[in-house]
Amino acid sequence: MTKSALALAVLAALSLNNSAHAQSNVQVYGLIDAGVEAVNHAGANDGGMVRVISGGKNTSRWGLRGSEDLGGGLKAVFNLEGGILLDTGAADGALFKRQANVGLEGRFGRVVIGRSFTTTYDLVIKFDPLGFAPNYSWATTGAATGPSKYGMTTAFDNLVKYSGSTGNFSYGASVGLGEQPGNTPDGRKYAVGGAWTAGGLSLMAAYEQVNGSILPATGNRDKTTAFHLGADYKSGQWRYVAGMRGYKMEAGKAATPDLRGDTYWGGITWVTGKTTLTGAVYHINTRNLPTARDADPTMIVARAMYSLSKRTDLYLSAAHASADHGQLVGLSRDDPGSGTTQTGVTAGIQHRF
């Protein structure tokens, strides 16, 4: 074969390949967030610490997502996403712990199967004044101190999830299959909710339920439920957010009492030019804890963010948490603290690609 004929064959093959995939796309994306934090009451000796952290503003992650146009307004979609710990370079859990799903999208909405964030998480995160900061936000979880951690389930394994919208309403439902032979409800998880937006006002309501297994001794099943309400109002340079979670754990053991707790939060954001200033407060209130007096912690947060570009931000965050009844408290979901108060300051950078 002459060189010219070979070149024509290669060009033809490339042309056919491009035509076959003309309606498909795959995107590599990610978010890299690292900072330096100074925090007190951080160890068994009640000492302070300076450390490099991963995800001061948002969790670091990378992923692959894509779609294929199937015609008639129907698309095949997929998403693979894993977390990264920037301080060590290690994976944050399993390879695709955050997302691993495939499904279809069309005029009816979107349906995916695999592992994904729950409907509740998708809704609640939009009503967090800090936009879900792993450091210094309790909107999806709480302080790591013992029974104060009245949070919600951010993602389900073995999931079937639907999301859709109609006019000003967005809504969805998620089911995580328990996959227990002979007892379908065991281990099953549910999440459902919706939001309404008009003008500068948004309102949200969501509910989730996580089943345990039936205990033979009592015939009862462990179960946790959490409902959420939220409101968000934007006017010019200002944004006002308020939300709450009602949490209940029903214990299947006869000698184990139920637990009930409420989390409340609110925040104000002001945007001017490339600078965004946010102040927020979070409080967890336990309404039924018979075995010990809970911490009932409160956290106050302030954050300044400066945009270097559309994809790169600098931020400076400061937070102070305090607990009642002599209980311990930590600023983040991962730090139980070693005192009745904890104060931290984080300076960091975030880049999206």
Is 13 domain-assigned?
no
- Coil, strand, or helix at residue 230? strand
> Mean of the per-residue pLDDT values for the chain?
88
Is 127 domain-assigned?
yes
- pLDDT tens digits, one per residue of 316-348: 999 999 998 888 888 987 777 788 999 999 999
Note the pLDDT of residue 7.
45
Is 1 domain-assigned?
no
| Domain interval for residue 172 | 25-352
Is the pLDDT at 50 greater than 80? The verdict is: yes
- pLDDT tens digits, one per residue of 236-249: 999 999 999 999 98
Is 86 domain-assigned?
yes
For residues 160 and 116, give the distance between their C-alpha atoms in angstroms, rounded to a whole number. 9
Phi/psi for 275 (5° steps) reads: -105, 135
Is 18 domain-assigned?
no
- pLDDT tens digits, one per residue of 252-284: 665 566 788 899 999 999 999 999 999 999 999
Is 6 domain-assigned?
no
**DSSP-based helix, strand, coil % in the chain, nearest 5:** 10, 55, 35
Is 136 domain-assigned?
yes
- pLDDT tens digits, one per residue of 136-189: 999 988 765 655 567 889 999 999 999 999 999 999 999 999 998 888 889 999
- pLDDT tens digits, one per residue of 109-130: 999 999 999 999 999 999 999 9
pTM listed for this prediction: 0.88
Looking at residue 339, what DSSP letter applies?
B
Check the CA dihedral 48-140-310-301 and report its sign: negative
Is 324 domain-assigned?
yes
| Number of domains, the chain | 1
Q: CATH number for the domain including 151?
A: 2.40.160.10
